[in-house]
Structure 1
Amino acid sequence: MIDTHQHFWRLSRRGYAWMPEDLPALNRDYEPKDLRDILNDTGITGTIAVQADDSVAETEFLLSLSDAHPWILGVVGWVDLEHADATRILTALAEHPKFLGIRPMIQDISDPEWMLRPTLAAGLNRLVELDLTFDALVLPDHLRTLARFMERYPDLRVVVDHCAKPNLRSGALDEWRDGLAAVAAHPNSFCKLSGLVTEAPPGAGLAELRDCLDHVSQLFGPNRLLFGSDWPVLNLATDYAAWQRIICQYIDETPRLAQDTIGQLNPQFAYTRLSQHCTNPNGAGA
């Protein structure tokens, strides 16, 4: 079982502009040593570390952690796609076998149609050429644009983070349902079962999340769904083991989710460069 979405950060590196200073649960260092015992206790054999800061230095930091810890199987980093050297930077980063793709923090970009800017085209086409993935950190009101984006770049693998953050507190889900369906219609789209408890009312469990999970699993099916914890942001709502239990219980109770596919929660479909690391991460099977 692989966790396809977790973070590390070291506050002395600066950055992390999104992080609220009044949340001590987040505003502290989170390093591999803080996660290792949790993974052992929950049977997670490897993870993908995802960027939490908009800088190439962040990507290099995460790759250095992956070099030191074999169970960090891959890194989803960050590159400024509008930079004149974007294609060169992507090519250089792709020399590292654990560099899997990039994640622009679209939810924080003021232009709602940023994805469609022609200035991104060279970098996006280079992602395709390098067999890398584009993680989409989006909100429900970005989904229609994301579907248009995928029409423009049909060969680009796109992973929707956190199920596009449905507004589970208000229950206003129509825009999210329709928009996610438009994205899922593209066969190169994938979705992470992650980040839902932090969008839900306090104390939410499977009963409160079931309708959302049903919609996502019907749209994407077992071969395009990935498990992610969103640790340590997850800690704002619940603990790692509790979130894993929610997802595993949902899989067990949902016949259309084949146990031998999503049950193994294997991300190679989306992150193809990961396959060389998944067969024996730290001595354990994936």
Structure 2
Amino acid sequence: MCDISEIDCVDSHFHIWNLKKFQYPWPTSAEAAIFRDFSACELEDNLKKTPVRHAVFVQCLNGTPEEAKWVMSQAESYPFIKGVVGGIDLTSPKLPEVLNDMQSHALFKGCRHILDMEKPDWITREDVHRGLKVLEDLQIPYDLLLRPPLLKYIPDVVSKFPRLKFVVDHIAKPYVKDKTIDGWREEIAAIAKYPNVYCKLSGLVTEADWESWKTEDFQPYIDHVLGCFGVDRCMYGSDWPVCNLAKADYKTVFNLLQRLLGSMAFEDKKKIFRLNAAEFYKLDL
């Protein structure tokens, strides 16, 4: 039987930031554990403690292609960066031009918008849907950063764009700290019915009690997501360095998901820790 350490794993969700280079709305000084620069060099050091050898950067800034280009420029020095999900304004009249420019960079793999900074029904707007149609036509995947109150809007959206691949970040941030699963359970299942939607097994620890989380806190949520999406549409993500808020370093987060997957067959773990992210983002590994 092969061990997960024999796989060159893929992290589908990491961040880096430089507080002097860009103006970030978050983190702030209130999040002291992560209110500093985080570099590709620091992440590379963390990856060496795990079997993860490839990773996908996900935007921190809305409507800022320059952030994605900054990260892509670092890939020559840090070749573990295999993809970049950029913060692209889907409502911009210049969207086709922006995407044409971004697609000239081989590492550009997708788009995301931080919905926390918008009104709850932003994802239902017609101008947003025009942008999603452009992504669908160009086959550029879209990351959905959701919280439970937004889940009700998503079935209508993903059904409208059946040829566009979506991925739900951080299993839609259920209320793990409160041990609440009702509501989220039914609505995430409704989204999973659409075959063009995937799910990142990421961002777990920051939704729990930062001071006293335990592995078993997450088991009902992970089991439910796997039951809904199946092993072919789930992928590992670290959400580094945000995970540090919950006193969890990179290796801790990686090992946590291994424990949660338990006795899952090796070939299924290989899908979650490598193959699904590589296929979803069309990574050149």
**TM-score, scaled relative to structure 1:** 0.91
Contact 2:166 2:198 in 1 (8 A): yes
Query: What CA distance in whole angstroms lies between the structure 1 residues aligned with 2:259 and 2:180?
Result: 25
Contact 1:251 1:257 in 2 (8 A): no
- 1:99 aligned residue: 108
| Count of aligned residue pairs for this structure pair | 274
1:256: Cα distance to partner? 10
Classify the secondary structure of the residue corresponding to 1:42: coil
Label 1:212 to 1:78 Cα distance change in 2 as closer, same or farther (>3 A). Answer: same
Label 1:107 to 1:179 Cα distance change in 2 as closer, same or farther (>3 A). Answer: farther
Label 1:227 to 1:21 Cα distance change in 2 as closer, same or farther (>3 A). Answer: same
Label 1:257 to 1:246 Cα distance change in 2 as closer, same or farther (>3 A). Answer: farther
Q: Percent identity?
A: 33
Label 1:81 to 1:169 Cα distance change in 2 as closer, same or farther (>3 A). Answer: same
Deviation digits for residues 164-223 of structure 1 (CA, Å, limit 9, x no counterpart) = 000111122212111111111100101101101110123323211111110111011111
Query: What CA distance in whole angstroms lies between the structure 1 residues aligned with 2:130 and 2:73?
Result: 27
Deviation digits for residues 140-178 of structure 1 (CA, Å, limit 9, x no counterpart) = 111120111111111111110000000111122212111
- 2:263 aligned residue: 253
- 1:136 aligned residue: 144
- 1:56 aligned residue: 65
Q: Given residue 83 of structure 1, which amino acid in structure 2 is its aligned partner?
A: S
Classify the secondary structure of the residue corresponding to 2:200: strand
**2:218 counterpart (201, 209, 215):** 209
Contact 2:236 2:273 in 1 (8 A): no
> Structure 2, unaligned stretches of length 5 or more?
1-8
- 1:175 aligned residue: 183
Deviation digits for residues 111-153 of structure 1 (CA, Å, limit 9, x no counterpart) = x221121112332122122221100111011112011111111
- 2:52 aligned residue: 44
1:22: Cα distance to partner? 2.5
Query: What CA distance in whole angstroms lies between the structure 2 residues aligned with 1:256 and 1:69?
Result: 29
Q: Given residue 191 of structure 1, which amino acid in structure 2 is its aligned partner?
A: C
**2:126 counterpart (114, 118, 133):** 118
Label 1:263 to 1:102 Cα distance change in 2 as closer, same or farther (>3 A). Answer: closer
- 2:227 aligned residue: 218
Q: Given residue 221 of structure 2, which amino acid in structure 1 is its aligned partner?
A: C
Label 1:255 to 1:43 Cα distance change in 2 as closer, same or farther (>3 A). Answer: closer
Q: Given residue 56 of structure 1, which amino acid in structure 2 is its aligned partner?
A: P
- 2:24 aligned residue: 16
Q: Given residue 244 of structure 2, which amino acid in structure 1 is its aligned partner?
A: N
Contact 1:226 1:262 in 2 (8 A): yes
Query: What CA distance in whole angstroms lies between the structure 1 residues aligned with 2:142 and 2:273?
Result: 24
Q: Given residue 250 of structure 2, which amino acid in structure 1 is its aligned partner?
A: Y
**1:243 counterpart (253, 258, 265):** 253
> Structure 1, unaligned stretches of length 5 or more?
279-286
- 1:281 aligned residue: none
**2:204 counterpart (186, 196, 202):** 196
Contact 2:55 2:81 in 1 (8 A): yes
- 1:283 aligned residue: none
**2:77 counterpart (68, 84, 92):** 68
| CA RMSD across the alignment | 1.7
Query: What CA distance in whole angstroms lies between the structure 1 residues aligned with 2:267 and 2:150?
Result: 27
Classify the secondary structure of the residue corresponding to 1:29: coil
Contact 1:90 1:126 in 2 (8 A): no
Deviation digits for residues 79-121 of structure 1 (CA, Å, limit 9, x no counterpart) = 11111101210121011111011111013212x2211211123
Classify the secondary structure of the residue corresponding to 2:32: coil
1:74: Cα distance to partner? 0.3
Deviation digits for residues 226-268 of structure 1 (CA, Å, limit 9, x no counterpart) = 1000000011111111111111122232459824422545412
Contact 1:51 1:62 in 2 (8 A): no
Query: What CA distance in whole angstroms lies between the structure 1 residues aligned with 2:266 and 2:224?
Result: 12
